[in-house]
Structure 1
């Protein structure tokens, strides 16, 4: 799913970002705080936003892109309203998390690292989330579902589709 950045629709957010950059541009190490604020403002860091930051902070776009793709807290695509994380840590994997992941992909017609076209769901495969006693585990935003079986997935997702 390709997302197109709409300059007109984002005018107010761009103004907010410019204020953040103005406040930080003469600060040593400004890139990380500016990227964090930009992601809060836009929900993700499209190339258009990275380019604005590059021009304002006088940091090469390649450096910004490298930072954004290196740190997992940054994203290049918008996240869905509901962010689903499927734990693929050892305990969860051994107890069937791959089948759960496959069921979610099939139910929502979405791939790992992607967002559904309606913007409702994002899917991520995660490593251990520290709930091994509940394996296999998924999270949907702040909700945790443990000791799951693949056949339970459809019912759980229905609660969020409504």
Structure 2
């Protein structure tokens, strides 16, 4: 890892150190909603967390499945699946299964850990750039150069 990458990683970690994953998702979604009103609806969330057993059973009955990514962005010619994780967090087994399903159909699946990385991802997607590896915008993966698959 270069000194520049290390500094960027440290700043990103500091920025979200006391955040919840829900706050990270809200900040990312609101950035896109406010900055790109013409794209409203292209970025959307999946409601796959239930408050209680009754709501969980209702969600299951209407098609909510575990492991689905937090956000989806409909890009030109493909859908990008975005999983939001705080620094140091990892995917659940269900999330890994979902990742395998969508990447087997040639859709990118990315992990985002901070708002700056999300903004870079959106800018690249809007320019028609397709992500080439899972950790391309993941400050944890950049350090270790984890492969896309």
TM score, norm. by length of structure 2: 0.31
Q: Greater relative contact order (Cα 8 A, min sep 6): structure 1 or 2? A: 2
Structure ID, larger Rg: 1
TM score, norm. by length of structure 1: 0.29
